[in-house]
Amino acid sequence: MIIDTVVYSFDPRNAPAARVDSGAILSFRTKDCFSDRIGSENQLINDLDLSLGMNPATGPVYVEGACPGDILRVDILDVVPAGRGVVCSIPGCGPLHDTAETRTRVLETENGFAEFNGVRFALDPMIGVIGCTPAEPIPTGWVGDHGGNLDCKLVKKGASLYCPVYVAGALFQLGDVHAVMGDCELCGTGLEIPAVVTVRLTLMKGRSIPYPVLETQEKWYTLAHAKTYDEAVTLTAGAMQQLLMQAYGWDATDAFLYLSLQGDVEICQACVPCSIDMILRCGVPKQPGRPLL
């Protein structure tokens, strides 16, 4: 099944683009964050009518049996970029904005590579916007406890994202694929590109989480957001502390000590100044036979 309905908000009033059972595998055809409206380097972000919003998502998908308080496990089976990508500087966005002009660069992608000013590098496609729909509407360009515009470069093929469910059916959606993006997304855009994303959606009953949790081949990560680093690191580390306590039976102090030994705090997005919150992830190594979820 291929889903291609595009929306600009995580909104419980959005009609489902499809209804599936737990365990379903389906593909999402996504637009880039500009809704595929930039066709040349002569077009600047200032020229776009952004009244609809940014970062469109494809969906939502209703998962039968999903109820508030459940977890939706999203196994990312493939992320296939299509065509060429766009990277733009945005007026007033990013720590170096006062040194840069507003500019658009269009990069061709071929055989898993792109080239920028003679520098060739491998693509590493990831999903920028992903999550279940919260009880109150949130634009797809914003991050929240539900997920949304997480801009975490580890949300890619081979990873699993665990999403809190807030409304009946979960109303899952995704979009804003980047063919490649560095941690922090300094200028506010990655290599924005349309794509086809294939996932498996599996419902988990009997557990709940306050924020998205990411599982990669090597680590477990909690993801959280806030206006400042101090707030965000407290939230993401605190979420990991709770996971460790629940999974391993440790008290808060032992979990805190372990995080100082094995925990890594990494930046997903921090293109400050920016209207979007800073997003951090806190990761710990996976232990054989001891999953955190």
Report which of 34, 45, 129 is spatially closest to residue 84, judged by C-alpha positions.
Answer: 34
One pLDDT digit (tens) per residue for the chain, 293 residues: 999 999 999 999 999 999 999 999 999 999 999 999 998 999 998 888 877 778 999 999 999 999 999 999 999 999 999 989 999 999 999 999 999 999 999 999 999 999 999 999 999 999 999 999 999 999 999 999 999 999 999 999 999 999 999 999 999 999 999 999 999 999 999 999 999 999 999 999 988 999 999 999 999 999 999 999 999 999 999 999 999 999 999 999 999 999 999 999 999 999 888 888 999 999 999 999 999 99
Per-residue model confidence (pLDDT) at position 292:
97
By DSSP bridging, strand 278-285 and strand 213-215 are unpaired
Per-residue model confidence (pLDDT) at position 11:
98
Tally of CA atoms within 13 A in the half-sphere of 283 that contains its CB: 17
Q: What domains does the chain contain, in order, with CATH numbers?
A: 2-206 (2.60.120.580), 214-285 (3.10.28.20)
Per-residue model confidence (pLDDT) at position 49:
82
Query: In this structure, what token pair is assigned to residue 188?
Result: 């506010």
pTM, 2 dp: 0.96
Report which of 140, 138, 198 is spatially closest to residue 167, judged by C-alpha positions.
Answer: 138
Sheet with 195-204: strands ordered across? 2-3, 24-30, 195-204, 71-81, 160-164, 213-215, 219-226, 278-285, 264-269
Report how far apart the first and last C-alpha atoms of the chain are (Å, whole number): 28
Report the C-alpha gap between 174 and 18 in whole angstroms. Answer: 14
In the beta sheet, which residues pair with residue 222?
213, 282
Kind and range of the H or E run holding 260: helix 252-262
How open is the CA angle 142-225-24, to the nearest 5 degrees?
65
Report the C-alpha gap between 200 and 85 in whole angstroms. Answer: 26
Per-residue model confidence (pLDDT) at position 52:
73
Query: In this structure, what token pair is assigned to residue 145?
Result: 């406890």
Per-residue model confidence (pLDDT) at position 103:
95
Other beta carbons less than 10 A from residue 119's beta carbon: 7
